[in-house]
Amino acid sequence: MRYLLLSEAGGLYFVAMPASHMYQLVALLKRLHKEIGKLTIADRPALPTVIAECSDLEVLDGTCRIEDGLAYVTRLEQHFARLQETEYPLISLLTEIRALQAQLEFLQEEE
């Protein structure tokens, strides 16, 4: 298991992902950061800042949460699916999010 430390307005939190798929999550978040400015809607979604990635984690502060990778990607997909974008081809971003989501669902079923 790998952990990605993210920062949002609400503070820091970790996303737990299988090591085999962490690269895809990091690449997806980088792509979303790159493309978010191209959206034409006025209320662009806020994306977390990627702080660090690690393999071992011992959380000593009870206020810092750990979110399951599939739950995080599902939440991300729902957030982007609700956007009312008309100019930017949002479907390409949703396709990437949904591809990672499908892989994580498959992994969960295999366990």
The C-alpha angle 27, 71, 30, rounded to 5 degrees, equals 15
pTM of the model: 0.90
pLDDT tens figures, 10-56 = 889 999 999 999 999 999 999 999 998 888 888 888 899 999 999 99
Q: Where do we find the tokens 């191209």?
A: 38
Which pLDDT score, from 0 to 100, does residue 18 have? 94
Q: Which residue has the higher pLDDT, 86 or 17?
A: 17
Average pLDDT, rounded, for the chain: 91
Q: Containing domain of residue 27, as a range?
A: 2-110
Yes or no: say if 71 and 14 are a contact pair by the CB < 8 Å rule. no
- Token couple for 14: 């970790």
Q: What value does the mean pLDDT take over residues 76-90?
A: 88
Which pLDDT score, from 0 to 100, does residue 53 have? 95
Structurally, how many domains does the chain consist of? 1
Which pLDDT score, from 0 to 100, does residue 40 have? 86
